[in-house]
Every structure is written in C-alpha cells, then in structure tokens.
Amino acid sequence: MQNTEHTTDTPPASDAHHLVADDAPDAIDVEETLVSTDEPHAEVVETFADFNVRPDIVESLADAGIIHPFPIQAMTLSIALGGHDIIGQAKTGTGKTLGFGIPAIQRVVGPEDPGYEKLPVPGAPQALVVVPTRELAVQVAGDLTTAAKKRNARIVTIYGGRAYEPQIEAIKQGVEIVVGTPGRLIDLYRQKLLVLKNVKIVVLDEADEMLDLGFLPDVETLIAATPPVRQTLLFSATMPGPVIAMARRYMTQPTHIRAADPEDEGITKKDIRQVIYRAHNLDKAEVVARILQARNRGRAIIFCKTKRTAAKLSEELIDRGFAAGAIHGDLGQGAREQALRAFRGDKIDVLVATEVAARGIDVDDITHVINYQCPEDEKAYLHRVGRTGRAGKKGTAVTFVDWDDVPRWGLINKALGLDTPEPIETYSSSPHLFTDLDIPEGTKGRLPRKERKLAGIDAEALEDLGETGKRGGAPTGQDRSAGRGSGGRDSGGRGSGGSRSGGSRSGDSGTGGRSGQGGEASRGSRGRGRGGDRAAEAASADSPATDTRASNNRASDKRASDNRATTDPAGTETSGRRRRPVGEGEAPSGERPRRSRTRRRNGEVVAKSAGGTED
C-alpha cells in the first residue's frame, strides 16, 4: 500500500504490544499496533481485488460504485482475511462496516460451497455480528447484503420490535450471517432456536455503546456459546476498562488498528464545523426553523433529550411547513423504520430523534446536526455530531445550551478542547445567527409554501411488522378503578362502598360506615392503601361476589333509610319532610340537630344520644 504507513507509534500510556484502557489501568497484550497516517477518507490506490477478496464480492461492490477501500478497510482486510483477532479503534464515520463485513462474507461456507455438508450444523449461522441498536442492525445488514449480492451467503437481521415468527422461519431455512441486537439474540438462543455451534467469526460493533446500554453481560453470554476456536473482531470508538477486560477474556493476541489523521489531532473531526449557542427554551423552535432554511442545507438531524420533546418538536416543524419525521422509543418499530426510509428516500429532510439514532446511522448528505438540548457528556456529543461530516464531506453541528446546562457544557468543552467555555447568548432575531450559519436575511420561522417540495412522511408506507408488546387497548374504567375499590375516586369511594357523603355514616359493611363491621372494613382497606386487597377483590368484574356485595349495599341503603324514618314516643311518624315536635332538651327547629353516633348490637343499629344513654 502506498498511502498507508504501518507504524508502532501509539498514544501515550500504551506501547507497541500493550493496549491500555482510556479510563482504567486495564490493559491487553496485542500482537502489534498499526496506525494509519493517511486522511481517513483518502481512497487507497489498490482495489479490493488486491487484498485477495473473492471475485464475486469485488463485483458486488463494483456494482454499488465501491472500488477502492478506505485506509481502515485496507488495514483491516489484510489482517482479518488471515483469521487474526482485531481491535479496531476509529472515529465514527470512517467506514468500519466493510472492514469487518468483507472478511465475514468471505470466510463463511455457502450452500453450494465445498464442505457445507461437513459443518457441525449445516444451515446454522457461521458469522455473528452484534450491534447495540436496531437501526444500526438494519444498516449493517444492508451493507453486507450489498457486498454479498453475488455471493451465496444468506444474511438475516435479528432484532426486537418485530414479530418472532418471520425471524425464526428465516433461521430454520438456513443462514450464514446473523446481524442482530443482544436482546433478541439472547432470547432466541435461550429458546434453543439460534444455534451457535458453527460460528467461526464474531464481530462486536460499537462495543463502548453496548457497555453504556448495559448489554455487555448478554454479549459475553453469546460469545461464550460460540466455539472456543474462532476469530473475534471488536470495534469501538473509545476503549473503556470493561471493553478491554472483555477483549482480554475472549480474544487471542489481537492486532490493534487505529485510524488516525495526522492533520486531525482533535477528538472531534475537522470536517465538522461546531457552533455553540446559549438559547432560551421558548425560542429554540423558532431558531431551529431559521437554521433549517440556511443556504445549501441538505438533510438535517435534530437530537432531543426526551421522547416527549422529540415528538413535540417534530409536530411543530411539520406545522411550520417542514418535511419532518421523528424517531424515539415511544414509536413502534414500524414507525421508526418508516421515518428512516422516508429520510433516506428524500420524502423528508429533517429527522428529529432521541439518542437511539445517534449510533451508526449512516445517511448521505447530512449537512446539519442540531443538539436541541445539551448532551449528557462528551461521548454523547461526539456520536451525535458524528452523523454529519461523513465520508470526507463537510458538515455543521449546532448545539443549544440552556442556562442550567452551562456548567455541564463547561465539562464537555474542557474534555473535547473546543475552546468555547461560554456559549454566546442567541435568539431567533440575533444578527450573528444569520451570518454564522449563512441564513438569508429576513428569514422567518415558517417555510414559504413555494419551498415545500417534499412529499412528507405520510408518503412513505407504514410496514406492518407484527410488532411485539402491543397492548390490546386502554384498560376499562372498572379495571383502572379496581385498585381503589369498586367505588373508585371518581365516585368518591374509599372502600368497596362508594361515596363518603353518599348517605348515613352508619350502615353495613361496604357502605363506608365508620362503626361496626363497616368501619372495620373501611379502616382495613385504608390501612392497605386505597384499593387494598379486599377492595380489589370486590372490584373484580368477573367475581360472583360483586353481585352479592351490590345487593348487600342496596339492603344497607334501605335499612339506613328506615332508620331515618322512625317514630316518636307519641307514635308520630317522621320523615325527611315532617319534623317531629321539639322535645325537652332538643335543639330548636331552626338549628341543625346533633348527629348521633351509632354502633351495632346483635345486628341492629343502635343510636347513642349525646347524654350517653341508649335509645
């Protein structure tokens, strides 16, 4: 190779035969460290055929317009095709996928290849590619499918959010390469539907992100299920301690490959122009609407911290006339893939996303990345802004920092050496906003109708994926109130009996009475929190006890009514309309009579007068 120099120069804290973790004293012995001194996207003079790649793979790549490898691909191919373990470390967007994809496609044995029937389990996967997110799985599988178009290698994508049946059926029909996320892979493996006895090459892409998402235990389970003699390729932008520890357990004398640009010594890529503004939350949408009308803007991704913010901002941009879509965790997998297809297919040019889209999404012509809220740390910032400035193209990254996030931004700025400790205060009317980002003067917060040329997300079909985890519908009112008793908060119920003011305080169990058995039941349900076990049982719609309790309630109401309509000593019947004559010691008719206290004796309600005597 003419444009790539193999050298043993390594960053501080490492030597030619040791790779030290970025944040811990963990280290792994490596056979050699290779560092590229070329610009990452400079094409190597040689073609893929010069690296002993199969002719059918070379033809497939040529049909897609891919002729010359990038430096990290050239360095990886020369070692990976020989069966050696590799730890690849490169900035995002440097073309790692084909670096591990071509060796995987070449090393598997297809159905028509010699030796296929001699495999331990013919038709079981021979290469396993593990990635952290669903979107990245789809993208990697697409790249491998392109490279294997004329190769008899079957590729299956396994990830959550889709129905199990099509994925299980594809595995049963036979597959050579499986690309998937840890959750669904470990699920199918434990169900003994995914057999890993044939696996001869394991690829871990974005290993540091798997660590952040808590996937490393599942990944280690999958690796442990593969044969001990295998090739392992691990790729990670950073090398935290747990990743180094995993590599030490499962890799044998790996070669460390680091793609570095001598003219790009910063942690972030030089092709990305970074602009930091301190913006007010109520004015951010207006600022975004102006940025999206900058001259020569291509596709744009806007990153939000929460799912709710992403959904709200997407709707607002659509209302302002922009062709926008959203990707976040509250959307089903079908809707997420619909938005990505529309984004790639030029039906929308603005994608509002949460962190789920920050890793590995490689879409051409992304000119602007906007951090709607300050990222959590420098790693999140790097992977967000890395969506632009890919494959040697230029890009712009705009970050909004709220007043409360200025201290956090100070830490990110210091870690990345961006030299912007105090972001400039910016509003939608600030003159420097227009000059910094080349926005035409006089631009407003709505896209003019004559500029609305894209079809929008509704023009992209929503595929029915048979998604798992869908609910059959909202729970009924009775189900929702079961935890509070059949009365529920809406009807004022505290136990199984309904309103606190719905009649006398005396009564049977279930009427909310404070004395006797009713009082005990009421206190019992409150002692367990509203909607205790007794109340929940009473609220069950299918329980036969419901009808019995309801009839008891009606009988209780009748007895309470009878108690209110009593007779005086002279035999005069009283009711709610006729008041009995005022006796001695009683309150005048103009005053409210004192409410008596009640208790239960032998199943009857007995009133206790204020003087302490029983009636």
Ranked by mean pLDDT, which of 134-138, 216-220, 256-260, 450-454 comes out on top? 450-454
Specify whether 228 is located in the same domain as 308.
no
Q: Please tell me which residue, 56 or 266, carries the higher pLDDT value.
A: 56
Tell me the mean pLDDT in the region 486-505.
40
Q: What is the mean pLDDT of the chain?
A: 77
* SS3 label, residue 378: helix
Which range of residues forms the domain containing residue 189?
A: 18-259
pLDDT at 387: 82
Specify whether 122 is located in the same domain as 222.
yes
Last residue of a domain, one of 518, 540, 562: 540
Q: Please tell me which residue, 409 or 528, carries the higher pLDDT value.
A: 409
Tell me the mean pLDDT in the region 496-501.
40
Specify whether 25 is located in the same domain as 171.
yes
Closest CA to 356 of 405, 406, 295, 307: 307
Q: Please tell me which residue, 433 or 384, carries the higher pLDDT value.
A: 433
Terminal Cα-to-Cα distance of the chain (whole angstroms): 110
* SS3 label, residue 28: strand
- Number of domains the chain contains: 3
* Spatial contact of 382 and 369, defined as CB atoms under 8 Å apart: no
Tell me the mean pLDDT in the region 491-515.
40
Opening angle at CA 259, ends 256 and 265, nearest 5: 120
Tell me the mean pLDDT in the region 321-343.
90
Specify whether 509 is located in the same domain as 400.
no
pLDDT over 80 (residue 458)? yes
Specify whether 156 is located in the same domain as 295.
no
Specify whether 403 is located in the same domain as 367.
yes
Q: What percent of the chain has pLDDT over 70?
A: 67
Tell me the mean pLDDT in the region 507-515.
41
CA 369 to CA 299: how far, in whole Å? 9
Last residue of a domain, one of 394, 427, 459: 459
CA 233 to CA 252: how far, in whole Å? 11
Tell me the mean pLDDT in the region 68-75.
86
Element (H, E) at 34: strand 32-36
CA 414 to CA 188: how far, in whole Å? 44
Specify whether 434 is located in the same domain as 293.
yes
Specify whether 364 is located in the same domain as 480.
no
pLDDT at 245: 85
Residue 408 forms part of a structural domain: yes
Read off the CATH number of the domain in which 74 is found. Answer: 3.40.50.300
Specify whether 208 is located in the same domain as 332.
no
Q: What is the dihedral of CA 239, 240, 241, 247, to 10 degrees?
A: -40
| Structure tokens that stand for 206 in this block | 């974005």
Q: What percent of the chain has pLDDT over 90?
A: 43
pLDDT over 70 (residue 331)? yes
Confidence of residue 606 (pLDDT cuts 50, 70, 90): low
pLDDT at 592: 60
pLDDT in tens, 415-424: 888 888 999 9
Confidence of residue 444 (pLDDT cuts 50, 70, 90): very high
Q: Please tell me which residue, 272 or 532, carries the higher pLDDT value.
A: 272
Tell me the mean pLDDT in the region 162-185.
94
pLDDT in tens, 540-577: 444 444 444 545 555 555 555 455 544 444 444 444 44
pLDDT in tens, 296-328: 999 999 999 999 999 999 999 999 999 999 998
pLDDT at 27: 73
Specify whether 205 is located in the same domain as 129.
yes
Residue 574 forms part of a structural domain: no
Specify whether 195 is located in the same domain as 318.
no
Residue 13 forms part of a structural domain: no
Tell me the mean pLDDT in the region 522-529.
41
pLDDT at 74: 87
Residue 291 forms part of a structural domain: yes
pLDDT at 167: 94
Last residue of a domain, one of 237, 259, 281: 259
Tell me the mean pLDDT in the region 482-486.
38
pLDDT in tens, 82-122: 999 999 887 666 778 899 999 999 999 999 889 899 999 99
User: Under the phi-then-psi rule, with left for phi > 0, alpha for psi from -120 to 50, and beta for the rest, what region is 82?
Assistant: alpha
pLDDT over 90 (residue 159)? yes
Confidence of residue 518 (pLDDT cuts 50, 70, 90): very low
CA 19 to CA 538: how far, in whole Å? 65
CA 419 to CA 374: how far, in whole Å? 16
Residue 564 forms part of a structural domain: no
Residue 466 forms part of a structural domain: no
The number of beta carbons lying within 10 Å of the beta carbon of residue 150 is 15
Q: Please tell me which residue, 606 or 348, carries the higher pLDDT value.
A: 348
Ranked by mean pLDDT, which of 73-82, 267-276, 519-528 comes out on top? 73-82
pLDDT in tens, 426-443: 999 999 999 999 999 999
Specify whether 447 is located in the same domain as 498.
no
Task: Pick the range with the lowest mean pLDDT from 276-285, 366-375, 554-563.
Answer: 554-563
Residue 594 forms part of a structural domain: no
Closest CA to 383 of 139, 137, 98, 91: 91
